Amino acid sequence: MNVENVTFLSETNSSLQSAPSADKSLGKDDFLALLVAKLSNQDPMNPTSDEDFVAQLAQFSSLEQLSNMNENLLQDIQWNYMLSQTISNTMATSLIGREVRADTSMIYLETAGTADLAIDLDRTATEVTVTIRDQDGNTVRTINENALDAGEHIINWDGMDDNGVQVTAGGYTVEVTAVDAEGNEFTPDQFVEGKVSGITYRDGMALLNINGQDLPLASVLEVKEG
């Protein structure tokens, strides 16, 4: 009897060692195959107890449920993403021709034109500094405003640089800082207002064309009547 047991263990170890090791992860099919193999090759003089067998079946059942949950979750995420994109794209097209207000740190300058930047102060500012930079990060114009009350304000840029030279048309980044009556520096909200002239789709995302800028739908703060 001892010799038979030794032979059984030797064959089992040889079988396990010869199994491919390229993929060390076990799926539910692998788990079931191992369970069936173990039951088929168990020692008839020392079979698996009912408790151990039930526990192994419970493990397989849990693995099956987790695998199904993972597949369903991935499908739900993909479906929700597609649904969200569809709703966003549909909403974006309905805004064509509407006046909107959008949050942005960009400003677009037409050829030989001017541009307006809207800011919202949550407190009175003794000083407001607007720094306009080109696409390379170089400062082209600094605008200073003094004694602005709390609320919304429109700051006009005449399209000139600090030397009085007309800059080229295109997009520019804008940074706004302010100082209150106590000397504390704060950052006002800044936004643009304009009519949505069209929609551009990029990487599945709808971008609204407002005053020459392509802005995401999520940046819209307000849609005006008319």
At 57 the pLDDT is 60
pLDDT at 209 over 60: yes
User: 218 Cβ partners below 8 Å, 6+ apart?
Assistant: none
At 127 the pLDDT is 95
- Calculate the average pLDDT of the chain: 77
State residue 67 phi and psi, 5-degree precision: -65, -45
Q: What is the pLDDT of residues 156-177, one digit of tens each?
A: 999 999 999 999 988 899 999 9
User: Which helix (DSSP H) or strand (DSSP E) does residue 131 occupy?
Assistant: strand 125-133
More confident residue, 213 or 128: 128
The tokens for 193 are 């207002």
At 177 the pLDDT is 95
**Cα 178–chain centre separation:** 30
At 92 the pLDDT is 75
Share of the chain above pLDDT 90, in %: 29
Spell out the domains of the chain, with CATH numbers in brackets: 99-193 (2.60.40.4070)
Helix axes 50-94, 28-40, angle to 10 degrees: 170
Residue 71 Cα distances to 66, 83, 122, angstroms: 9, 18, 48
Please give the average per-residue pLDDT across 188-193, as a whole number: 88
At 2 the pLDDT is 44
More confident residue, 92 or 27: 92
What's the CA gap between 117 and 130, in Å, rounded? Answer: 9
Q: What is the pLDDT of residues 24-57, one digit of tens each?
A: 555 556 666 766 776 676 666 665 555 565 566 6
- Using alpha carbons, select from 195, 198, 173 the residue that is nearest to residue 117: 173
* Count of Cβ atoms closer than 10 Å to residue 132 Cβ: 22
pLDDT at 129 over 90: yes
3-state secondary structure of 79: helix
At 107 the pLDDT is 86
